Amino acid sequence: MHRTLAILFSGILFLVAAPGYGGWEQDWEQTVKAAKEEGKVVVSSSPGTVVRDVLTQPFEKKFGIKVQHSGGSPNKLVSRVRLERAAGKYLWDVVVQGTTTAITSFKPMGVLDPVEPALILPEVKDPKHWLEGKLWFSEKDRVNLLMGLATRPGLAVNSNLVKTDQFKSYQDLLDPKWTGKMVVGRDPKIAGASQAQFLFLYLHKDLGPEYIRALFNQKITMSGSDDQALSWLGQGKMYIMIGPPETNTMDRLSRGVPIGLVPPPQMREGSYLSPGPATLMLLNRAPHPNAARVYINWILSREGQIEYARATNVPSLRVDMPPDDAPSWRKPRPGYIDGYTEEAMAGRKKMLAFLKTVPAQ
């Protein structure tokens, strides 16, 4: 007969195999069985049909567990979770979003559990399967696990109107011919791709606050929405988008929208490194704790990472991934700015204060 240990974690009772009595295999078997009894897992991620499909269909097919998925802006999710928890409601299990959401919102709210206690599968848990022999986290409490890391594109253009190879420096955007022809999606004072890009511009030693001020003098259009900005770009109403959102842009590219990404290595100032939508969070007091554990182990497995890296174009931090079709510039490069750490978030506070001094367009 197998022995089990009862472990209380974040108010939830888990039954796991005792040492020497089945090990991780029994733990996994029992967790999957309990997950199927729970029936579903509730997952939030960045928007886009490609991301939604890859976060739902393979998992449902493999385990027969329903994925209740919601895709949208991290800011709206944070507001929703805050209101729900104030009302005593705990509705979410797993969040696949960005590090800014974790560090500046969810972590201060106290709604996250450490991810490592949820890891079961050896191919997920053993650091040897990950780059540099470690699990990657964006902050010291290890509640935000990085699945991938990429060099981020800072500019997108309408490929029918503008050639990507004509940009060699961010200073090129100050050319008068681009006045009134550039757009930003989500307000850079709100977490997202726009904010990450403006943080890069703010922190870069050759750009900085005065460059941003000059850029705004170019009569940049602030659309207020990533989708709106991409629509205007694809329609040719705007020529250049600053800080294109990764998943939304790739979704439109897959549908043949005439959008081109400017490769960061051709820019003199380089770019920044970010996991973008490839970070993982486990909400505490999850309504489906066992399904959440199964989901986390699946998405971090080689199988899950192949699916997710292909969908998001973010290179996985696993070391056993097959070759992919992503452009070589997507791989992390030495010397580029880390845009995802707690230290970067400290710079973000200064940038947000500065942006309040820049006249709105």
| Fold agreement between 4-149+276-327 and 153-270+334-355 | yes
> H or E element: which one contains 233?
helix 226-235
Convert 154-181 to b/e letters by CB count within 10 Å (16 or more is b): bbbbbbeebeeeebeebbbbeeeebeeb
Q: How confident is the model at residue 360 (pLDDT cuts 50, 70, 90)?
A: low
CA pair distance 276, 305, nearest whole angstrom: 15
| pLDDT above 80 for 213 | yes
Q: How confident is the model at residue 240 (pLDDT cuts 50, 70, 90)?
A: very high
Q: What is the average per-residue pLDDT within 339-356?
A: 89
- Better pLDDT: 240 or 14: 240
- Domain 153-270+334-355 is in which class? alpha beta
Q: Show me where the domains of the chain are located.
A: 4-149+276-327, 153-270+334-355
| pLDDT above 90 for 6 | no
CB contact set of 203 (below 8 Å; sequence gap of 6+): 337, 344, 347, 351
Q: Where are the beta strands (DSSP E) in 204-300?
A: 221-222, 240-242, 259-261, 272-274, 279-283
- Do the beta carbons of residue 177 and residue 240 sit within 8 Å? no
Counting residues of the chain whose pLDDT is more than 90, the rounded percentage is 70
Q: What is the pLDDT of residue 216?
A: 95
Q: What is the pLDDT of residue 340?
A: 87
- Helices 302-312 and 246-254 pack at an angle, to 10 degrees, of 80
Q: How confident is the model at residue 74 (pLDDT cuts 50, 70, 90)?
A: confident
C-beta neighbour count of 223 within 10 angstroms: 22
Q: What is the average per-residue pLDDT within 190-202?
A: 90
C-beta neighbour count of 309 within 10 angstroms: 24
Two tokens, residue 263: 């490769």
Q: What is the pLDDT of residue 75?
A: 84
Q: What is the pLDDT of residue 330?
A: 83
Highest mean pLDDT among 6-15, 20-29, 219-228: 219-228
Q: What is the average per-residue pLDDT within 29-43?
A: 98
> H or E element: which one contains 15?
strand 12-17
When mean pLDDT is compared across 87-91, 162-166, 278-282, 310-314, the lowest value belongs to: 310-314
Supply the CATH classification number for the domain 4-149+276-327: 3.40.190.10
Two tokens, residue 77: 């999710």
Strands 182-184 and 240-242 come out as parallel
- Mean pLDDT across the chain: 90
Q: What is the average per-residue pLDDT within 123-127?
A: 96
